[in-house]
Amino acid sequence: MTTDKDDKQPADAPLLLDQQLCFALYSANLALHKLYRQLLAPLEITYPQYLVMMVLWQQDDVTVSQIGKRLFLDSATLTPLLKRLESAGLLLRQRSRQDERQVAVTLTDAGRGLRDKALSIPDSVRCASACDLEQLQSLKGQLESLRDNLQG
């Protein structure tokens, strides 16, 4: 391995896996998804479906495009998720009354009821992280800033 005389690090240091921000994010994401898979199993939904449900729990009766914008997903990715949630009886999709080109998404009673079962999930994630609320809020803000910067 060659070294750069000025900084005394290997010349390939920028390519070392443990030096990569992307790998730290990727491996943390894998661990987080594994945790969510366990927490969401009793609700019988996947993590992407959980994200859709959180959007609807915050504001019901929104369009597919509004959900996609909120979750950074295109309609080709979002539509199959919505179809599965509709098949599970958690939401309804129908043409918007205001604009027939849009599809409105609304929660069913079962979808609203699922919210109560999900209430403990954020605290379970916080506990599993072994971080306090302030640390998690700071990390969340940093990641949002990173995302926004990368999107240009």
Q: Which of 75, 73, 84 is nearest to 46 (CA)?
A: 84
Q: Which domains does the chain have, with CATH numbers?
A: 22-119 (1.10.10.10)
**The pLDDT of residue 10:** 76
Helices (H), 18-108: 21-40, 47-58, 64-71, 75-87
101: its two tokens = 């080109």
Strand-by-strand arrangement of the 103-107 sheet: 62-63, 103-107, 91-95
DSSP state, residue 41: G
Q: Can you give the pTM of this predicted structure? A: 0.87
Residue 95 phi, psi dihedral angles, 5° rounding: -60, 140
Kindly give the confidence (pLDDT) of every residue in the chain, 152 residues in length, as a single tens digit, with 9 standing for 90 and above. 544 555 567 777 889 999 999 999 999 999 999 999 999 999 999 999 999 999 999 999 999 999 999 999 998 999 999 999 999 999 999 997 778 889 999 999 999 999 999 999 999 999 999 999 999 999 999 999 999 999 98
Amino acid at 65: S
